[in-house]
Amino acid sequence: MSTIPTVPMIRFLMNARSIVKNPLPFHHKNFEAKGDTFRLKLGLNQSVVFSRDPGFAIYALQKNQRNYHKSDIQTKQLAKYVGKGLLTSEEQLWKTQRKLIQPAFHKKTLATLLEKVQSAIHTELDRITPDTPIDIFPIFNDLAFQTVVKALFSTHIDRKKIDRLQHITEAAQQMLVKELRQPYKRWYFKYGGPIKKHLELAQEGREILREFINERKASEQRYGDLLDMLLEARYDDGTAMSEQQLIDEILILFVAGHETTSNALTFTAELLARHPEVQQRMFDAYTTYAKDQEESPSSDDQIMHLIKSMTYIKQVVEEAMRLYPPAYFIDRVNYESDSYNDMEIDKGSNLLFSVIEIHKHKDYWENPLAFDPDRFADNAGMKHPAYFPFGAGPRMCIGNNFAMYEMILTLCELIKRYQIAAKTSPIQIKPMITLKPKNAVLTFVARTP
């Protein structure tokens, strides 16, 4: 590992307080001083390799992915709260579950859920009060959560229990952030009660889901939602998922499926407030489309046609996720010693690929700090070597299409109803497990019919 520039432990300790609040400036400073890959010493025998080299990321995530697995951050620390689902499982369990669940997330399958998704979007956007400054993140957060709820459980379910489940999943992530950023409090977290409390909350969440699943089974009816698909999925031997595994997968869908989307939508709205010209182009694109339609899209086929037609709005989402990627880092550990270019990587090295740094790297992006949706014209995002909003390789996010459909539909409805008042102050961030917005206070002005 001597070939990798090192940041000493004392520098980490001197910046510990600011790292707890926001580690990104510390990492950026080290990248600028040490280069695209550096090693941060955390203890006598503990270190993390940070990299913003997109070639190295592709090597570990795709070209030599068999030698790299997820770190304990997800496979153990997050898993203790949400179980062993697609996001947190490894090796054979992951392969088996991915093969089983993948059909539920094919584009043709997702197209049958669009009416349910649109219904949730309309309901939640009705909560916006025009001409009044509001923090839009809670609304988008609830919207994304309710969208997953609608896609999973299309039948009527207790809103109080869903709200409780949302609180539980978010509380678990907040606890995990404290564990990761304050390792010196490890003994207190473990023996002082916080971890035990959140594990009890997680169990409560599992009981809520178990109740929903049992109600569906008892109904003996089919609703064509994701829960039906998961209940009907069969392994190669013809068996179904166990109840425990089903609950694990549903919890992962809630955790991974709502927070990243709500973050991306909030950052997009914040960017639109600072770029009225982009907002106007979105509105023009939508109104031009709407003029050619006999009625507002309501069936799954009509809604899919709308999504495919809104190419500029898709570009806006892609550019927002470049500047503010919800999954702003990707972790891996190598099974065996390896090398990449001139770097020797010891067996069992902890690697963190900084997606946010890759997305703003001046060597790969022209004017990287500018908000320019046109850089993604003609599906350029799919071809760009330094763009990883949903990861890369075999473990790319299984819900990427679902998320894009949801965000495009939300922005279509939002831009149809409202104009976002101009704002000039800097966008604030709160890096947690995902990159979250902070103080996203915006004013929405209702458009005249």
**CATH class for the region spanning 52-446:** mainly alpha
Q: Is the dihedral of CA 313, 315, 318, 324 positive or negative?
A: negative
Cβ neighbours of residue 411 under 8 Å, at least 6 residues apart? Answer: 265, 268, 282, 313, 316, 317
pLDDT tens profile 103-137: 999 998 999 999 999 999 999 999 999 999 999 99
- With vertex at residue 289, the alpha carbon angle to CA 283 and CA 291, rounded to the nearest 5 degrees, is 100
Q: Model's pTM, two decimal places?
A: 0.92
Closest CA to 326 of 438, 212, 432, 445: 432
β-partners of residue 69 are 333
For all residues of the chain together, what is the average pLDDT? 92
Residue by residue, what is the 3-state secondary structure of 136-150? HHHHHHHHHHHHHHH
Q: What is the mean pLDDT of residues 339-350?
A: 93
Nearest-angstrom CA–CA distance, 30 and 5 = 10
Contacts of 249 (CB under 8 A, 6+ apart): 85, 86, 97, 101, 230, 241
Tens digits of residue pLDDT in 44-74? 788 999 999 999 999 999 999 999 999 888 8
User: Each residue of 318-338: pLDDT tens digit?
Assistant: 999 999 999 999 999 999 999
Among residues 290, 281, 289, 269, which one has the least CA distance to residue 312? 281
Query: Could you tell me which residues come within 8 angstroms of residue 197 by beta carbon, excluding any fewer than 6 positions away?
Result: none
Task: Decide if pLDDT at 156 tops 80.
Answer: no
Give me 324's structure tokens: 């503010």
- Where is pLDDT greater, at 162 or 311? 311
What does the pLDDT average to over 266-292? Answer: 96
Three-state secondary structure call for residue 431: strand
**Whether the Cβ atoms of residue 5 and residue 328 lie closer than 8 Å to each other:** no
Report H helices in 130-193: 136-152, 159-181, 186-191
What CA–CA distance (Å, rounded) separates 161 from 179? 27
393-431 pLDDT tens trace: 999 999 999 999 999 999 999 999 999 999 999 999 999
